[in-house]
Amino acid sequence: MSRPSSEPHRTPATPPRSGSWWWIVPTGVLVALAGVLIAMSWDWEYDPLREADETEPEMVLIPGGTFWMGRDDGPPDERPAHEVTIAPFYMDVTEVTVGQFAAFVKATGYVTVAERVPTREQYPNADPLLLKAGSAVFVPTAVNPFEYPGVWWRYVPGANWRHPEGPQSSVRGKRNYPVVQIAWEDANAYAQWAGKRLPTEAEWEFAARGGLDRQPFCWGSAKQGEGGKWYANTYQGDFPAHDRGEDGFVGLAPVKSFPPNGYGLYDMSGNAWEWCADWYDPDYYKVSPPVNPQGPERGPLIDGEMQPQKVRRGGSFLCDDGYCRRYLPSARDKNPTDSSANHTGFRCVKDVR
Ligand SMILES: [Ca+2]
């Protein structure tokens, strides 16, 4: 009996089949997947310069004159009401739009403050996790606003004028919305490029009042929503938890969505805050010159800020009657020059020559 062979039975190797197409299907799937990913990233990286609007922004002549600036029954920084005389000037009829700002960026390659990576040298006391390019975004929050003021703001990396609410948002189709996430120096850079300038605080208030004398609102004395009429894009509801949007808009509205004031200016009240040229000083009205005041030489340090702040005016879509009624023509606000948020934009003026 012969010993069984320990040699395993070998199956002869199958020779490679020439001309096999087995790899086609998986490769096709991979190519298709890559295509989908590219298409998706194209959407995420939507180029806002496609919104560029190169038509000349419409301006209107503000006639100049003498008016009562501030009010005596308002917050301390609006007192005293005092007479101010303003020279005539031209003013943009709307807030600078996404389209207009895109045209500026397209022409100059300008990079806004919110798009620049902040450095430790600039912000030695900042949380290192916050040293990322970004900006402030409003997040609805169910709190008592008087008890926890400002907790509805988040610093969102990637938020800027191209992505106003953060990286997943875009300005696609928003050519006629006010541009926001604009710092004072961005607004000033745009104004210089356009051959214009930012309004002084006094010019802004004169223009906002639309020729009316000491009225509480830019349109007169009727309250928002009175008789079913809405005059501005503000906030209705439980601020900062829920905006009912009774005026037709939750968040920003396209410019010209509400009636113009007496000078033909839109959105001087609500929608987006507007930067002014002046430094902010809460006591400035006590010493303000009566003719064409330009604001103080430099503002005081307030609110624990390390730098003086610039004035902004007009309020925004977040102005709520119960918490912050700063959509009134007399209302003053301020922020540091490098700050931006998704409710702050600007408009420009030009001298009459
Ligand atoms: Ca609204």
Spell out the domains of the chain, with CATH numbers in brackets: 48-353 (3.90.1580.10)
Q: Please tell me the pTM assigned to this model.
A: 0.87
* CA 60 / ligand 1 centre spacing (Å): 26
Please state the rounded mean pLDDT for residues 202-222. Answer: 98
What percent of the chain is predicted at pLDDT more than 90?
80
pLDDT in tens, 54-89: 999 999 999 999 999 999 999 999 999 999 999 999
Whether the bond between 118 and the residue before it is cis, its omega within 30 degrees of 0, is: no
Smallest CA-to-CA distance from 162 within 146, 151, 150, 174 is with 174
pLDDT of residue 32: 81
* CA 248 / ligand 1 centre spacing (Å): 6
Q: How confident is the model at residue 41 (pLDDT cuts 50, 70, 90)?
A: low
What percent of the chain is predicted at pLDDT more than 70?
92
Instruction: Round the CA-based radius of gyration of the chain to a whole number and report it.
Output: 28
* CA 347 / ligand 1 centre spacing (Å): 20
Smallest CA-to-CA distance from 345 within 318, 316, 310, 308 is with 316
* CA 194 / ligand 1 centre spacing (Å): 30
Cβ proximity of 112 and 101 under 8 Å: no
AA letter at 277: A
* CA 146 / ligand 1 centre spacing (Å): 21
pLDDT of residue 21: 73
pLDDT in tens, 264-276: 999 999 999 999 9
Cβ proximity of 343 and 188 under 8 Å: no
Cβ proximity of 282 and 333 under 8 Å: no
pLDDT of residue 310: 97
* CA 97 / ligand 1 centre spacing (Å): 18
pLDDT of residue 13: 45
> Which residues does residue 350 pair with via DSSP β-bridges, in sequence order?
90
User: Looking at the predicted structure, is the pLDDT value of residue 290 above 50?
Assistant: yes
* CA 236 / ligand 1 centre spacing (Å): 7
pLDDT of residue 169: 96
* CA 15 / ligand 1 centre spacing (Å): 74
pLDDT of residue 123: 86
User: Looking at the predicted structure, is the pLDDT value of residue 38 above 80?
Assistant: no
Highest mean pLDDT among 127-141, 245-259, 293-307: 245-259
Cβ proximity of 91 and 199 under 8 Å: yes
pLDDT of residue 9: 42
Q: What is the DSSP string of 134-146?
A: EEEEE----S-TT
Cβ proximity of 322 and 164 under 8 Å: no
Please state the rounded mean pLDDT for residues 223-252. Answer: 97
Please state the rounded mean pLDDT for residues 172-191. Answer: 98
User: Looking at the predicted structure, is the pLDDT value of residue 187 above 60?
Assistant: yes
Cβ proximity of 201 and 79 under 8 Å: no
pLDDT of residue 306: 84
Q: How confident is the model at residue 2 (pLDDT cuts 50, 70, 90)?
A: very low
At 314, give phi and psi (nearest 5°). Answer: 100, -15
pLDDT of residue 8: 39
pLDDT of residue 84: 98
* CA 320 / ligand 1 centre spacing (Å): 9
User: Looking at the predicted structure, is the pLDDT value of residue 243 above 60?
Assistant: yes
- Beta-carbon contacts of 150 under 8 Å, excluding residues fewer than 6 positions away, are none
